[in-house]
Amino acid sequence: MVEGQRLTQAASDIFLGWFTDQGGIDYYVRQLRDMKYAYDPAGVSPVRLANYAQFCGWNLARAHAKSGDAAEITGYLGKSDAFDRAIVSFAGDYAEQNRRDYKMFTTAAQEGRIEATAGF
């Protein structure tokens, strides 16, 4: 886990590590308080939300790019666009599922079947 985090994080936690005690128990160690930024989407304009989503996607792509061997991945994917089409299809299906889930959520909230608040 620690090696994977070090691979994917742009700047790893300086206290990230692990050790094994005398009894053979492994412990995962990291900084007590990460002091990282937490994004609050409440009241954000669609343009800013899109920018944030693009930023998140870029970071995720960078992390994945660091975690694998580019030549091996390229060789595995080959020259066709089958993988590209599969990812686009999956993304479309996933977005549609999110739309359906959100509609069910808002309907349940409006009908009083669940309680929902906008506060963070």
How high is the pLDDT of residue 114? 93
How high is the pLDDT of residue 35? 62
What parts of the chain have a pLDDT lower than 70?
Answer: 1-2, 4-14, 31-37, 119-120
How high is the pLDDT of residue 94? 95
Provide long-range contacts, Cβ within 8 A and 24+ apart, for 7-13. 7/63, 7/66, 7/67, 8/63, 8/64, 8/66, 8/67, 9/63, 10/59, 10/62, 10/63
How high is the pLDDT of residue 34? 60
Alpha-carbon dihedral sign for residues 67, 73, 77, 81: positive
pTM of full prediction above 0.75? no
How high is the pLDDT of residue 108? 95
The Cα–Cα gap between 35 and 28 comes to: 19
